[in-house]
Amino acid sequence: VLSGCGVYDGTEIHEASAILVHLSRGGAEVQMYAPDVPQMHVIDHSKGQPAEAESRNVLVESARIARGKIASLAKLTTADHDAVIFPGGFGAAKNLSTFAVDGKDCKVNREVERVLKDFHKAGKPIGLCCISPVLAAKVLSGAEVTVGHEEEEGGKWPYAGTAGAIKELGGKHCVKEVTISFPLIFHVERQFTHVDTKNKVVTTPAFMCETELHNIFDGIGAMVKNVLKLTGK
């Protein structure tokens, strides 16, 4: 499920690409969706500033990442799919929800909420990375998720405050890493991801941490692998 195209106002493109690569490697068939709604705003990514005169549609922009093969989120049903995955990017907090503005008092897009509840009720796994775990924390009461660390640690975790918001939303936050410590090298999946086995929710920090791209890629790979494992196929 995509939320636009571009980290500051839509889907984080590196995360979406990494998810698609790992799903392909895992033998999964993929269909992409996005809500057919206006973006909260448009950011000029070269300046990091809003482009006041522009307006864009989330579905239309997401089609850039999907290479045109995308459908409205309203058409996504649990009957047709074994799992659902949400990349991060500020679009998850701006277009899929109002978390960027309202924090713990945020509202979640109606179709996003429906999808999360339907997959949860059907016992089908849900994967989320970066900022998108806030969606599960808001919609699925008591869900266990991770956005990494709970302290900024000198700027390494610039969005660490999100962990506190997750707790206020009613979720449980679990501290996880995005880099490998040698003593834990044989437990990479557990280090990179949190698997809430009760709710079948799998999360990984991704770009919540300031780190090298390959670390993000590996963490997302661990998330995807666990999602596929939970499908039982």
pLDDT of residue 83: 98
Q: What is the pLDDT of residue 185?
A: 47
Q: Which CATH code is given to the segment(s) 13-231? A: 3.40.50.880
Q: Looking at residues 78-87, what average pLDDT do you find?
A: 98
Strands 32-34 and 194-196 come out as unpaired
**Mean per-residue pLDDT for 141-147?**
97
- pLDDT > 90: percent of the chain: 92
Q: Is the pLDDT of residue 123 over 50?
A: yes
Residue 36 has pLDDT above 60, yes or no: yes
Torsion of CA 81, 85, 90, 91, to 10 degrees: -10
Average pLDDT over the chain, rounded to whole?
Answer: 95
The predicted pLDDT at position 179 comes to 72
Sequence spans of domains, the chain: 13-231
Compute the average pLDDT of residues 122-128: 98
Question: What is the predicted pLDDT for the residue at 184?
Answer: 47
pLDDT in tens, 58-75: 999 999 999 999 999 999
In angstroms, rounded to a whole number, what is the distance separating the alpha carbons of residues 142 and 167? Answer: 9
Burial class (CB in 10 A: 0-12, 13-18, 19+), 27: exposed
Would you state the pLDDT for residue 178? 85
Strand-strand pairing, 84-86 and 126-129:
parallel
Q: Is the pLDDT of residue 144 over 90?
A: yes
Mean pLDDT of 79-97: 98
The confidence score (pLDDT) of residue 189 equals 59
Mean pLDDT of 154-161: 95
Q: Is 5 a catalytic residue?
A: no
Q: Which of 129, 130, 174, 209 is catalytic?
A: 130
| The token pair that represents 140 in the structure block | 């699925």
Provide the 10 A C-beta neighbour count for residue 87.
30
pLDDT in tens, 3-25: 999 999 999 999 999 999 999 99
pLDDT of residue 223: 96
Mean pLDDT over residues 41-67, rounded? 96
8 A C-beta contact, residue 131 and residue 99: yes
Q: Which pTM does this prediction carry?
A: 0.95
pLDDT tens digits, 166-220 = 999 999 999 998 876 545 444 555 678 999 999 999 999 999 999 999 999 999 9
